[in-house]
């Protein structure tokens, strides 16, 4: 006689030993365990167990065996037939949702978008409740491209950041994070700060904006801006360097990545003499940026060596991946400007960080929250794990 599959659902107030008592109670009637799932929210436990029952075992046998638990504790048990899912088997997808605030209407819209693509939500996990709300949906039965398009459309109506990725080793294998510097790892643009010393803020800022928006070739724009700095004493580089400010969450991001065995690199269209000392302080050894020509202690208005432009950033990404011993598909790239687009596209995961629309459209996902450590949530690293790592290592 074929064994019957039974679904047992335990719900109620959690306590130490409850799960072991549950499994001890059902053990005499179980031929094998098929699947187990558990979640606990604010001390309330839900456990679902699919089993193959031994020949002749009835639902009543399970109910009787578990009666001591349900009578003595604030818990209940439901016994039902375990039916095969009607959903097509496919790779699971991970939908990460981030926002400063989430309400029922927003979550309903997320769930409806997933359902519209034929997706079924298997699990929802909270990754963080500050500085942003972050939840991860594990979705079965949906096409990757279709789901990504549907979730991206939500961001036009709701203040959300959403990423859709394949589950499994594909995400866990990403071990190198390559970041832009200006307006990504650092607040503001170094070239604008240098221009302030020459009284040319507006002229340089206009060229910078055109280049970052993709309206002007980056190399040409860089040469135009650097030319305006001709005659400035090299000491202004020191002054700007002393006033550099990291993006909120940058230190947390780098500290956590290092503790988890990730490597970090920086590729910048900015200037090496300004950022190099800070990168050394942060423990970042893989750095690519432009160099400024200095003669007799004065900026000549020229760039020395090859310009780190759009193509140069992709080349640096590949070089860093080679140094780190990982495939390019195992990298994460983060940037905000048009000169980052090719780098974002080449990486295994490209993240547009507070970026222009042209960059957001080209990237795998986009973050609009002002905290760089939100990148960790896209890697499936929770706030609880970040704080635990800090506590363990001091």
Strand ranges, E, within 131-236: 133-140, 161-166, 176-179
296 in catalytic set? no
**Would you give the DSSP letter of residue 237?**
H
CB 308 within 8 A of CB 219: no
Question: Which residue in 174, 168, 172 sits closest to 91, CA to CA?
Answer: 168
- Nearest residue to 10 (alpha-carbon basis) of 38, 47, 41: 47
180 is catalytic: yes
Tokens 């400035």 belong to residue? 232
Q: Of 14, 180, 336, 340, which is the active-site residue?
A: 180
Radius of gyration for the alpha carbons in the chain, expressed in angstroms and rounded: 27
Tell me the pairing of strands 286-295 and 133-140.
unpaired
Q: CA distances (Å), 347 to each of 151, 166, 182, 367, in order?
A: 21, 15, 19, 16
Tokens standing for residue 183: 């307006």
Task: Give the Cα separation of 186 and 169 in Å (integer).
Answer: 31
Rounded CA separation 357/342 (Å)? 15
DSSP-derived 3-state class of residue 356:
coil
Do 374 and 356 contact (CB within 8 A), yes or no?
Answer: no
> Which residues are CB-neighbours of 7 under 8 A, at least 6 positions away?
48, 49, 50, 79, 80, 81, 82
The catalytically annotated residue of 182, 309, 342, 364 is 182
Helix (H) or strand (E) holding 272: helix 272-282
Please tell me the distance from the alpha carbon of residue 33 to that of residue 7, in angstroms, as a whole number: 10
Which residues are known catalytic residues?
180, 182
């Amino acid at each position: 006689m074929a064994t019957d599959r039974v679904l047992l659902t335990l719900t109620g107030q959690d306590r130490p030993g409850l799960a072991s008592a549950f499994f001890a109670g059902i053990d005499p009637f179980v031929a094998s365990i098929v699947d187990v799932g558990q979640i606990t929210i604010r001390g309330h436990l839900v456990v679902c167990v699919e089993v193959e029952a031994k020949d002749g075992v009835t639902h009543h046998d399970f109910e009787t065996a578990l009666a001591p638990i349900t009578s003595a504790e604030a818990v209940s048990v439901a016994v039902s037939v375990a039916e095969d899912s009607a959903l097509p088997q496919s790779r699971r997808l991970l939908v990460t949702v981030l926002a400063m605030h989430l309400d029922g209407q927003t979550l309903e819209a997320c769930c409806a978008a997933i359902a519209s693509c034929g997706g079924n939500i298997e699990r929802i996990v909270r990754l963080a409740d500050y500085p942003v709300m972050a939840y991860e949906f594990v979705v079965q039965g949906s096409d990757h491209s279709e789901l990504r398009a549907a979730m991206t459309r939500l961001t036009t109506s709701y203040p959300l950041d959403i990423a859709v990725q394949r589950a499994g080793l594909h995400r866990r294998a990403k071990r190198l994070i390559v970041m832009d510097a200006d307006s990504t790892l650092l607040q503001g643009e170094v070239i604008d700060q240098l221009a302030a010393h020459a009284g040319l803020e507006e002229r340089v800022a206009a060229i910078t904006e055109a280049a970052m928006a993709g309206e002007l070739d980056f190399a040409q724009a860089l040469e135009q801006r650097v030319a305006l700095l001709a005659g400035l004493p090299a000491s202004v580089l020191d002054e700007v360097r002393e006033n550099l400010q990291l993006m909120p969450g940058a230190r947390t991001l780098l500290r956590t990545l290092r503790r988890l065995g990730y490597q970090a690199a920086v590729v910048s269209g900015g200037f090496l003499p300004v950022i190099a000392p800070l990168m050394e302080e942060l423990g970042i050894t893989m750095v690519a940026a432009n160099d400024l020509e200095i003669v007799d202690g004065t900026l000549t208005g020229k760039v020395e060596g090859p310009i780190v432009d759009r193509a140069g950033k992709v080349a640096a990404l590949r070089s860093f991946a080679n140094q780190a011993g990982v495939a390019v598909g195992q990298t994460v790239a983060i940037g905000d400007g048009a000169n980052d687009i090719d780098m974002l596209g080449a990486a295994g995961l490209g993240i547009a960080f507070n970026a222009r629309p042209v960059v957001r459209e080209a990237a795998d996902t986009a973050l609009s929250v002002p905290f760089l450590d939100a990148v960790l949530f896209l890697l499936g690293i929770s706030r609880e794990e970040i704080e635990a790592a800090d506590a363990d290592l001091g």
